[in-house]
């Protein structure tokens, strides 16, 4: 992490800085079209802006963001270089603001007109405010010094925001806010608590009832950062079934950085899942600090969550139901035939007894004697 301490400028120091900034404009203009993350230009080239971290001389220093290791109450000073890459003079507003995760989990900064409430309030420019406006001619650049002054009660962990260059352009009757930004990370010393949690997990199954082997399981989950360190994560998801037997596994992927106190929701699909009655979708995440600065790395414990999903194999169940119905009908028929046979035998015996009782007494004695 880069750490820069504020120097109290004297009038001569200010003059020297202005001279150095002027000398840097040529290098700035030549380098502005080099590849970089903080660059935007209009399709018609009437409005365009470049914004990059810079050295006090105004030269670009290769950084892609501002990242500091600081203590509560500490003050640091740094520089950004802004260049008008368009073909018309423009007023550029440079802003210090707060960052958050939007509904898609992407890194986002507050709208230009919104006042910051977190790290953006600690940023100030030469005018003493957290925003400053400069007018630049086409191809003209300006070195923008800024100060990050931490309060004495700043809490430990990552405080994330950005330096934004904003220019409003007219498109018909609509004013369009064209912005570029550089991320700013201030990690305050103290008790770091890196953690990500999966605070919800839902799964659904979609497939044709007659196709036992080719459904799709959709897994939706939300990841929250309850700690104080900005973390990204590697993700593994899959589906198991009875006795933990694996059915499908998602190709390992990563989710973008989630800032402290923020959440983001994600989803993935796993095709060709059979209707096995019981399915066990799961998600596992391994958090990490997404930075090229190894000094900012902190270990974070992995976490996982699963859920139960019951998927009826309808073709099998229908087959079993039909087979059961056939068996029930056969058994019912057999019971009815047995009942009829028993009833016929009982009727026959009853008729024989009645006929025997109705015969004349002599015939009964004759038959008895014959029997003797």
Express each pLDDT in 106-164 by its tens digit. 999 999 999 999 999 999 999 999 999 999 999 999 999 999 999 999 999 999 999 99
| Mean pLDDT (whole number) for 241-270 | 94
Q: Among candidates 270, 232, 234, which has minimal Cα distance to 250? A: 270
When pLDDT is cut at 50, 70 and 90, the band that residue 361 belongs to is low
Confidence of residue 367 (pLDDT cuts 50, 70, 90): low
Residue 255 has pLDDT above 80, yes or no: yes
Q: Which residue has the tokens 């399981």?
A: 217
* Residue 47, pLDDT score: 66
Q: Tell me, what's the pLDDT at 4?
A: 42
Task: Give 316's pLDDT tier (boundaries 50, 70, 90).
Answer: confident
SS (H, E, C) the chain: CCCCECCCCCHHHHHHHHHHHHHHHHHHHHHCCCCCCCEEECCCCCCEEEEEEECCCCCECCCCCEEEEECCCCEEEEEEEEEECCCCCEEEEEEEEEEEECCCCCEEECCCCCCCCCHHHHEECCCCCCEEEEEECCCCEEEEEEEEECCCCCCCEEEEEEEEEEEEEEECCEEEEEEEEEEEEEEECCCCCCCCEEEEEEEEEECCCCCCCCEEEEEEEEEECCCCCCEEEEEEEEEECHHHCEEEECCCEEEEEECCCCEEEEEEEEEEECCCEEEEEEEEEEEECCCCCHHHCCCCCCEEEECCEEECCHHHHHHHHHHHHHHHHHHHHHHHHHHHHHHHHHHHHHHHHHHHHHCCHHHHHHHHHHHC
Beta bridge pairs of residue 143:
81
pTM above 0.85, yes or no: no
CA distance 16 to 8: 14
Residue 191, pLDDT > 80, answer yes
Q: Report the residue count for the chain.
A: 372
180: confidence class by pLDDT, cuts 50, 70, 90: very high
Residue whose C-alpha is closest to residue 49's, from 94, 15, 3: 94
Query: What is the band of 17 on the pLDDT scale with cuts at 50, 70, 90?
Result: very low
Model confidence at 370, in pLDDT bands (50, 70, 90)?
Answer: low
pLDDT, tens digit (0-9, with 9 covering 90-100), for 88-121: 999 999 999 999 999 889 999 999 999 999 999 9
Mean pLDDT of 327-336: 90
- Mean pLDDT taken over the chain: 85
pLDDT tens-digit map of 264-280 = 999 999 999 999 999 99
């Amino acid at each position: 992490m880069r750490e820069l301490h504020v120097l109290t400028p004297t009038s001569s120091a200010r003059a020297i800085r202005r001279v150095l900034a002027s000398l840097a404009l040529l290098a700035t203009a030549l380098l502005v079209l080099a590849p970089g993350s903080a660059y935007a230009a209009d399709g018609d080239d009437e409005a365009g802006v470049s914004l990059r971290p810079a050295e006090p001389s105004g030269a670009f220093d290769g950084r892609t963001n501002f990242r500091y290791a600081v203590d509560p109450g500490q003050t640091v000073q740094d520089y950004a270089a802004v260049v008008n890459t368009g073909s018309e003079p423009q007023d550029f507003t440079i802003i210090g603001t707060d960052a958050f995760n939007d509904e898609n989990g992407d890194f986002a900064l507050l709208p230009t007109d919104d006042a910051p409430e977190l790290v953006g309030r600690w940023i100030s420019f030469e005018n003493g405010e957290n925003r400053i406006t400069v007018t630049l001619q086409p191809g003209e650049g300006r070195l923008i010094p800024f100060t990050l002054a931490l309060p004495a009660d700043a809490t430990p962990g990552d405080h994330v925001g950005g330096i934004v260059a904003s220019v409003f352009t007219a498109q018909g009757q609509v004013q369009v806010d064209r912005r570029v930004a550089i991320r700013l990370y201030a990690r305050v010393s103290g008790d770091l608590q890196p953690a990500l949690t999966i605070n919800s997990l839902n799964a659904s199954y979609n497939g044709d009832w007659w196709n036992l082997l080719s459904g799709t399981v959709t897994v939706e989950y939300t990841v929250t950062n309850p700690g104080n360190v900005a973390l990204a994560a590697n993700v593994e998801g899959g589906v198991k079934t009875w006795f933990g037997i694996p059915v499908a596994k998602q190709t390992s992927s990563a989710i973008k950085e989630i800032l402290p106190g923020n959440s983001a929701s994600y989803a993935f699909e796993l095709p060709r899942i059979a209707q096995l009655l019981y399915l066990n979708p799961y998600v596992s995440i391994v958090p990490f600090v997404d930075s090229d600065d190894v000094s900012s790395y902190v270990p974070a414990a992995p976490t996982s969550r699963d859920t139960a999903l019951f998927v009826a194999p309808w073709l099998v169940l229908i087959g079993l139901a039909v087979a059961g119905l056939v068996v029930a009908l056969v058994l019912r028929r057999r019971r009815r035939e047995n009942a009829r046979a028993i009833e016929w035998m009982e009727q026959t015996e009853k008729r024989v007894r009645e006929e025997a009782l109705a015969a004349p007494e002599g015939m009964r004695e004759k038959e008895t004697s014959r029997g003797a």
